[in-house]
Amino acid sequence: MKKEQPASQADNKPLHPLAEVVIAGDKVVINQREYRLLVNQREALDREVLKQKYDPYLDQYDYLVGDVSSEHLRLRGFYNDYVKTSIDRKKSTIVDYLTEYCNPGAPYFILESLQPSRKPRPSQRRRPPRKRSKNKAAFSEKKVKDGRPKKGSYAAGRKKTRGRHQAFVIRRKKS
């Protein structure tokens, strides 16, 4: 049978191994991954707390935002704007995250990874040009149909509005 541990010892056991954190000026190295310190509002970056709270899961992100609220550090990761992901995980929404989800005036820091986790994808997929046969010309002539409705058809009596709203007039009934 297993010996039961007191509740205080079970709570102190970390879920992941402690991170190796080295801070040298505006460079921060976490588990051999280099970051640049962009913002350190009210000296929020604390080496010992970051060492305990950092999870290797955060290695995939290009930006790390840490905010301190009620003496607890909360870490959240963001990607570069060109990465295909949900909008709330992109770099451009860091300011929104800080204003909406963090306490006003709370200390925070932003770290930028010097080794981007994902490479940018080309903005458009380009198709290879079509091969033309030597017998066909670049353009071929086709007969264009007349767009007007035939006389006597239902469509001939209706006015086409083409996306515009029709005028609406209320008239009195003639007696």
For the stretch 97-140, pLDDT in tens is 999 999 999 999 999 999 876 665 555 566 666 666 666 666 66
Does residue 34 contact residue 113 with C-beta atoms inside 8 Å? yes
For residue 84, give the CATH number of its domain.
3.50.4.20
Confidence of residue 15 (pLDDT cuts 50, 70, 90): confident
In-domain check, residue 142: no
Q: Which two tokens stand for residue 93?
A: 């929404």
In-domain check, residue 149: no
In-domain check, residue 157: no
Euclidean distance between the first and final Cα of the chain, in Å? 102
Count up the domains in the chain and report the number: 1
Q: Which domain holds residue 75?
A: 15-113
Cα-based distances in Å from 124 to 79, 120, 121, 127, 130:
20, 12, 9, 10, 18
Tokens 């017998």 label which residue? 135
Supply the pLDDT for residue 20: 94
In-domain check, residue 19: yes
Supply the pLDDT for residue 174: 82
In-domain check, residue 102: yes
In-domain check, residue 71: yes
Q: How many Cβ atoms are within 10 Å of 135's Cβ, its own excluded?
A: 5
In-domain check, residue 152: no
Global pTM exceeds 0.75: no
User: Which whole number is the average pLDDT over 75-80?
Assistant: 96
